[in-house]
Structure 1
Amino acid sequence: MNVKIIKGAKDYEAAMARLSALMSLNFKPNSKEENELELLALVVQDFERQTVPPIQTDPIESILFRMDQMQLSRKDLIPYIGSNSKVSEVLSRKRPLSLPMIRRLNRGLGIPADILIEDIETDSSVLDEDPEVDYSRFPLKEMLERGYFGDFEGNVQRLKDYAEDLIRKFMQELLPTRVEPAFLRAPMHQRGDRQADETAILAWRMCVLRKAREVIPTKEYRQDIVTPAWLRELAKLSAFDEGPKLAREYLARYGITLVIEKHFKHTFLDGAAMLDGGRPIVALTLRHDRVDSFWFALLHELAHVAQHLNPELPVFVDDLERTNSQSVESEADAMAREALIPEATWTHAKVRQTLASEDAIELAHEIGVHPAIVAGRLRHEEKNFRLLSHLMGKAGDIGRMLSP
């Protein structure tokens, strides 16, 4: 017996000739000829698997075949595919099958899911159960406009038709398939008493995670790094024209990723602190076009990182306009305020009596922060948001500074 690994066409032809010759013999069981035949067949099969592409089944042909078997008309496919026009577009290959269509065709007509699913990255197990969420409720149009759905084209209705496909594909790039349901149900602490759209908040979190994953950390985060003194040094960067950019670099040196992602409608988001494995992510929306808002939101989320973020509470989402009695928010507010303007300094600050811009600027220089931070604290305390408006700066400039 002289069976060799097949390395090319000549070896394959010789192996097939020998295989044919062995199959024509009338040998005894367990003979050396039978053993050679079995081993040679395995070698040939392995070579063919490596060199011959698998036959691709065509989902449309499978549907047409089942229609012929069951004597179904195109009208009979409407419950599975949708309107008559959608049936026509699918059968003429002008419209791809969506996951809901595939799920209905699989259950209703018994066509195997593996035949209907053309995307090799999609596991057929997604069809075993009905979706846990209504994918059409995601902010699909906004996500499309931000480029999160690649080259997908279509109107709002088409977006809804393919919502599950688009969101699942988006999530597959972030998470293993089997983790998706857990991610959808992940516990989240949310500040604010307005009725925010939870699906839109989830979409925003996914977009933040995607951006954060594009940043390769150069340092590993150490859990005890964010201290009051560390935050105070960070706050002093606000005095520089490129303070936000310096802040991002400052955080990166300690294994923390800063992401800017505009909020979606009906989310009322200012920022969030999130854990991705062991790496903290601080995400800001720049919803309010003020420099003081950027710095307070940044330090507030970092206070969550220092005091509250853990695997049991991996996400803190904040609407900083709203207050509530939860101690974790009061703690984060206090830590952020102290880092920006120490309470001992603020208690005796002259500007609290005069409300004058020159005193606000003097105090800002004294403690080493941007004048907008002093003006913002004063405006909040006085409940007068017209006060010292000329000192506030524009957060839009921050957005451009931190854009890729």
Structure 2
Amino acid sequence: MKNIKIIKSKQDHEQALARLVSLMALDLEPNSPESDELEVLALLIEKYEQETFPIDPPEPIEAIKFRMEQQGLIKKDLIPYIGSAPKVTEVLNGTRNLSLNMIRKLHEGLGISLDVLIKEPAHQQAISSDVNWEAFPITDMRSRGYFDGFSGSARELKEYCAETLTSFISSVPNGFKLAPALLRTSAHLRTNDKETDQYALWAWQIRVLKKAQDVTFATKYVKHTVDLAWMRKLAQLSWSEQGPVLAKEYLNKHGIHLIIEPHLPKTYLDGAVCLAHKGNPVVALTLRHDRLDNFWFSLMHELAHIALHLDKTEQWFLDDLDAQGGDQVEQEADALAQEALIPKEKWNADSIKDATSVRLASSDIGISPCIVAGRARYESGDHKLFGKLFREKVKHNFPL
């Protein structure tokens, strides 16, 4: 073959084209050197042109209109794929974006490539993933305000859910991936023998991360900030009627999020802890038991996970504190939480018999009497102990 070489410049391209034209003008024998040269030149020219003059895929609306022209379709023929005549007009005019459902139907019904129809990364993830979007508890999620501003139908809500969740997850660079397997493997879960709705749990986790992402701290969290002394200082804020609010301010001052997010059905959560995308710890509480003592113990339990475990890993810790015992990790967190609230040397269960002894003990320790009474009830197994005393609620401190 004559002077065959890789095409690297415009001049090389022009020379190769001229040679190709001259070879095509000849009556070449098959398998001759000139015939082989022509095939090689054609491949080299094609490769150069693809790299130098790439052709962008058509816009989705252009592709739809082209397919309509090919198949002799009119607007009403698109109704089965887009949903209604007004929606067809809006899509073709560019005033309505294609939904996931539209994309699927146009691909399956008209054979338009997904690569052409999908422009948004969230759409690409939602369609290509093996997530069962039907499994999310979207009715409960909607009632809890997960989809503020959405006013469409129930069917449209399913699509909106997929797009919203995938869009958020793709924006979080902290390893929270869109993969069902991670529903089981990315978290340390403390639970009773109850059947947990994994998709509801996942939705709650995403909601917590989204709330954390919407808040920026001036202070960066410093690893190992949380220790027993730090937690005891925090516990002393419980003496104030504004203790829960002061606790949030205290955590925020040290670069730690405190997110209050009610649990979804079949998740049985009291609290959780994880890392936000900027490395700040996130403590999330559900307040499913609306009691001050439960708030303080749940908070301290999650902070204990930060002190003992989270600084060493990026996984989630999800806690149903009604679950007794737990593994070593949970026992360690329980022990540190108890010690932060009530030091061992200050606790004498036998002396806590009435309201007066509760108040004396809480004054000596420097914490809310609700915490002392709550521990006495827990250890005695008598949840009617002290009657209606020391049963302050906490949710009113965190209006949602």
Tell me the TM-score normalized by structure 1: 0.73
Partner AA of 1:101 in structure 2 = M
Q: Which residue of 1 aligns with 2:310?
A: 309
Q: Is the CA contact (8 Å cut-off) linking 1:300 and 1:332 kept in structure 2?
A: yes
Q: Structure 2 matches for 1:4-23, cutoff 5 A?
A: none
Q: Is the CA contact (8 Å cut-off) linking 1:136 and 1:164 kept in structure 2?
A: no
Deviation at 1:93, TM superposition (A): 3.6
Q: Which residue of 2 aligns with 1:340?
A: 341
Q: Is the CA contact (8 Å cut-off) linking 2:60 and 2:116 kept in structure 1?
A: yes
Deviation at 1:281, TM superposition (A): 0.8
Q: Deviations over 1:191-244 (max 9, x none)?
A: 003221111111111111121122222222222221112111111110011111
Closer, same or farther: CA 77–312 of 1 in aligned 2, 3 Å: farther
Q: Which residue of 2 aligns with 1:290?
A: 291
Q: Which residue of 2 aligns with 1:16?
A: none
Closer, same or farther: CA 176–301 of 1 in aligned 2, 3 Å: closer
Q: Is the CA contact (8 Å cut-off) linking 1:239 and 1:370 kept in structure 2?
A: yes
Q: Which runs of 4+ in 1 moved over 6 A?
A: 72-78
Q: Deviations over 1:254-273 (max 9, x none)?
A: 22111111111211111101
Partner AA of 1:232 in structure 2 = R
The residue matched to 1:317 in structure 2 has which SS?
strand
Partner AA of 1:399 in structure 2 = F
Q: Structure 2 matches for 1:173-192, cutoff 5 A?
A: 174-175=171-172, 180-181=177-178, 185=182, 187-192=186-191
- Report which stretch shifted further, 141-150 or 64-73: 64-73
Matched, 1:149 2:128: no
Identity %: 40
Question: Residues of 1 paired with 2:122 and 2:138: CA distance?
Answer: 23
Q: Which residue of 2 aligns with 1:50?
A: none
Matched, 1:362 2:360: yes
The residue matched to 2:178 in structure 1 has which SS?
helix
Question: Residues of 2 paired with 1:71 and 1:384: CA distance?
Answer: 78
Closer, same or farther: CA 292–123 of 1 in aligned 2, 3 Å: closer
Question: Residues of 2 paired with 1:162 and 1:254: CA distance?
Answer: 36
Deviation at 1:382, TM superposition (A): 1.6
Deviation at 1:349, TM superposition (A): 5.3
Question: Residues of 2 paired with 1:89 and 1:183: CA distance?
Answer: 36
Structure 2 alignment gaps of length 5 or more: 1-13, 15-55
The residue matched to 2:398 in structure 1 has which SS?
helix
Question: Residues of 1 paired with 2:157 and 2:123: CA distance?
Answer: 22
Partner AA of 2:186 in structure 1 = P
Q: Deviations over 1:151-193 (max 9, x none)?
A: 2213433322443223223434x42699643697261011003
**Alignment size in residue pairs:** 338
Q: Which residue of 1 aligns with 2:202?
A: 202
Structure 1 alignment gaps of length 5 or more: 1-28, 30-53
Q: Which residue of 2 aligns with 1:6?
A: none
Question: Residues of 1 paired with 2:196 and 2:176: CA distance?
Answer: 25
Closer, same or farther: CA 279–58 of 1 in aligned 2, 3 Å: closer
Partner AA of 1:292 in structure 2 = D
- Report which stretch shifted further, 207-216 or 292-301: 207-216
Q: Is the CA contact (8 Å cut-off) linking 1:286 and 1:399 kept in structure 2?
A: no
Q: Which residue of 2 aligns with 1:229?
A: 229
Q: Which residue of 1 aligns with 2:88?
A: 91
Question: Residues of 1 paired with 2:147 and 2:74: CA distance?
Answer: 34
The residue matched to 1:262 in structure 2 has which SS?
coil
Closer, same or farther: CA 178–333 of 1 in aligned 2, 3 Å: closer
Deviation at 1:122, TM superposition (A): 3.6
Q: Deviations over 1:97-135 (max 9, x none)?
A: 322431453355332446534xx65467437x6322112
Closer, same or farther: CA 75–323 of 1 in aligned 2, 3 Å: farther
Question: Residues of 2 paired with 1:179 and 1:259: CA distance?
Answer: 18
Q: Which residue of 1 aligns with 2:43?
A: none
Q: Structure 2 matches for 1:97-108, cutoff 5 A?
A: 97-106=98-107
Partner AA of 2:310 in structure 1 = L
Partner AA of 1:212 in structure 2 = A
The residue matched to 2:310 in structure 1 has which SS?
coil
Q: Is the CA contact (8 Å cut-off) linking 1:106 and 1:112 kept in structure 2?
A: yes
The residue matched to 2:329 in structure 1 has which SS?
helix
Closer, same or farther: CA 150–184 of 1 in aligned 2, 3 Å: farther
Deviation at 1:380, TM superposition (A): 0.8
Deviation at 1:316, TM superposition (A): 0.3
Question: Residues of 1 paired with 2:145 and 2:200: CA distance?
Answer: 16
Question: Residues of 2 paired with 1:137 and 1:217: CA distance?
Answer: 35
Q: Is the CA contact (8 Å cut-off) linking 1:184 and 1:202 kept in structure 2?
A: no
Closer, same or farther: CA 175–241 of 1 in aligned 2, 3 Å: same
Q: Which residue of 2 aligns with 1:350?
A: 351
Partner AA of 2:316 in structure 1 = V
Question: Residues of 1 paired with 2:122 and 2:255: CA distance?
Answer: 34
Q: Which residue of 1 aligns with 2:381?
A: 383
Deviation at 1:339, TM superposition (A): 1.1
Question: Residues of 1 paired with 2:163 and 2:122: CA distance?
Answer: 12
Partner AA of 1:181 in structure 2 = L
Question: Residues of 1 paired with 2:273 and 2:215: CA distance?
Answer: 16
Question: Residues of 1 paired with 2:121 and 2:312: CA distance?
Answer: 29
Matched, 1:134 2:135: no
Question: Residues of 2 paired with 1:238 and 1:247: CA distance?
Answer: 8
